[in-house]
Amino acid sequence: MTAISSKWAALKEELERRKQADFDWEHGKVALYNYKVDAGLDMAVREAYQIYFGENALGRRAFPSVARLEDEVIDFGLDLFNCPEGGAGIFTSGGTESIIVAVKAARQWGRVNKPHIADPVIVLAETAHPSFNKAAYLLDMKVVRVPMRDDYRADVDAMGRAVGPDTVMIVGSAPSYSHGVFDDIEGIAGVAERHGLWCHVDACLGGFLAPFVKKLGYDIPAFDFRVPGVRSLSADLHKYGYAPKGASLSLYRTQADKDCAKFMFNEWPRGVYTTYTLSGTRPGGAVAGAWAALRYLGPDGYLAAAGTVMETRDALVAGVEAIPGLHVYRPFDLGVFIFGSDDDRVDINAVMACMRERGWFVGSTAKPVAIHYSVNPIHAQSIDAYLSDLASAVDEVRRTERKAAFDDDTYS
């Protein structure tokens, strides 16, 4: 026992040492990727994960308690997004999987209902998440990306014109990751109804934030199953649901629509194998962690966290705008905002580089070239430090006339 614990003590020390090389997200130094409310929730979610550390969510009969936790999480989602009676959902590993599974469902629905289509097409705005292209790549479909409007929202009229005889699916973002704005979901779902298409809403980023922000009195457009014509919706638990990573929902207006995502196989010696997800084995810990986050926070906790996100966003926006040479792009609807430079002597790419040198991992947007900030409650503690380093970075760039190439490689 002592040998084991001293072995682990050394490994643990090594892990903690290796982590020192990373950007310090727990102190708000990373502008994307991490979502945390407070130490209490963090502990609850970690312990819940640990309790179900060894369980496999694939085994619904072996682990009925995991199945029940999963069903309760899905019911929470269906309720939050106003799905009428009869809706159904799939617990997935993340936004990308929720989207791939929904695209697969739409393709299957198209095969049955539009059998003349050999090469099915998805129509979406250029701002939609790359996972739709990943899904199309995997499922042998085509994607038509329609240019965004000047306000970064989907151009619904142009999307309608882009619909052709082979289109099966149309998509809106609620909101988009690139600019943090809501597409006109009612308009997009209207196009779907007129042309008989499957309409998916990508609420991966903002799904678990927007309903609470709306409750706080902010103007949030209708984006969920209340909009007729919306058939499926993706929303990530591991973002503003504050669940551990590996948790998202792919939700469907009807069980029949969910069944379009089903994979069933019986031609091997072991018997029937049924899954709705891309993965077979799935971590029970992610399910228990998501369940713990929902129950620990409850509607009041999510409301309070949403308040922190919006207050932090507003403080950051006001602080950025107070720095001469910087310019916040509008509109922005939720937790994401972008800012650039309106001073020829301040190269925003150089500002990004200077911020990295000061220990801040900043995101970026290519169109327009801008710094991208995805706000979560953890950033409330670092507002002043961020703004002070940003002001000094801008000052340094102006003084030294430093220039830098655009670095959009924040994902690798």
Ligand X SMILES: Cc1ncc(COP(=O)(O)O)c(C=O)c1O
Footprint of ligand X on this chain (CB under 6 A)? Answer: 94-96, 129, 131, 173, 177, 202, 204-205, 236
Shortest reach from residue 160's CB to ligand X, in Å? 22
DSSP codes of every residue in 88-135: EEEEESSHHHHHHHHHHHHHHHHHHH-TT-SS-EEEEETTS-THHHHH
Shortest reach from residue 131's CB to ligand X, in Å? 5
Shortest reach from residue 393's CB to ligand X, in Å? 25
Q: Which is nearer to ligand X, 52 or 177 (CB)?
A: 177
Shortest reach from residue 10's CB to ligand X, in Å? 33
Q: Which is nearer to ligand X, 188 or 354 (CB)?
A: 188
DSSP codes of every residue in 194-221: HHT-EEEEE-TTTTTTHHHHHHTT----
Q: Which is nearer to ligand X, 236 or 389 (CB)?
A: 236
Tally of residues, the chain: 412
Shortest reach from residue 104's CB to ligand X, in Å? 15
Shortest reach from residue 278's CB to ligand X, in Å? 12
Task: Write the CA distances from 247 to 57, 86, 90, 127, 292, integer angstroms.
Answer: 12, 23, 10, 23, 12
Q: 300: which 2 tokens? A: 């009041």
Check: CB of residue 242 under 8 Å from CB of residue 334: no
List, in sequence order, every residue forming a beta bridge with 172; answer none if it has no partner.
Answer: 201
Check: CB of residue 335 under 8 Å from CB of residue 206: yes
What SS3 class is residue 402? coil
| C-beta nearest to ligand X: residue | 95
Q: Which residues of 86-124 are buried (b: 16+ CB within 10 A; e: fewer)?
A: ebbbbbbbbbbbbbbbbbbbbbbbbeeebeebeebbbbb
Q: Which is nearer to ligand X, 129 or 253 (CB)?
A: 129
Q: Which is nearer to ligand X, 129 or 153 (CB)?
A: 129
Sign of CA dihedral 169, 134, 98, 146: negative
Shortest reach from residue 129's CB to ligand X, in Å? 4
Q: Which is nearer to ligand X, 187 or 335 (CB)?
A: 335
Work out the number of other CB atoms within 10 angstroms of the CB of residue 48.
Answer: 25
Q: Which is nearer to ligand X, 96 or 167 (CB)?
A: 96
